Amino acid sequence: VYHSTEWKSLVERCKASCNGLDLYALYAENKIRLGKTAHHIEEVLECPELAYELSNLIYVSFSSHNKIHHAYNKSELEKNKMKEFLRECLKRYRGGV
């Protein structure tokens, strides 16, 4: 997935849809930080059918990406709470809330 031309194009679309911002830092920490990577909200190994879905991606910094994965690895409850928060970040940024 991560080395394909389709993935590289999708990352650029994700970055553009978030204006290059780390949306996790924006809403969790009230900080403006540039993102560096696209994160799959539903992980590729768990939901391979969503690997190339823009709606399943959020643009974040490496620092935020580490925090997100820390929550994912902590417990299923924390993982699900983080997924919901990330979806809410996307919704808020795109004018849904």
Q: pLDDT band for 96, please (50, 70, 90 cuts).
A: low
Residue type, 32: I
Say which residue the tokens 């809330």 belong to: 97
Question: Span 41-56, mean pLDDT?
Answer: 96
Q: Could you tell me the maximum CA-CA distance found in the chain, to the nearest angstrom?
A: 34
Inform me whether the pLDDT recorded for 48 exceeds 60.
yes
Q: Note the pTM of the prediction, 2 decimals.
A: 0.93
Q: pLDDT band for 83, please (50, 70, 90 cuts).
A: very high
Q: Residue 90 and residue 46: Cα distance in Å, rounded?
A: 21
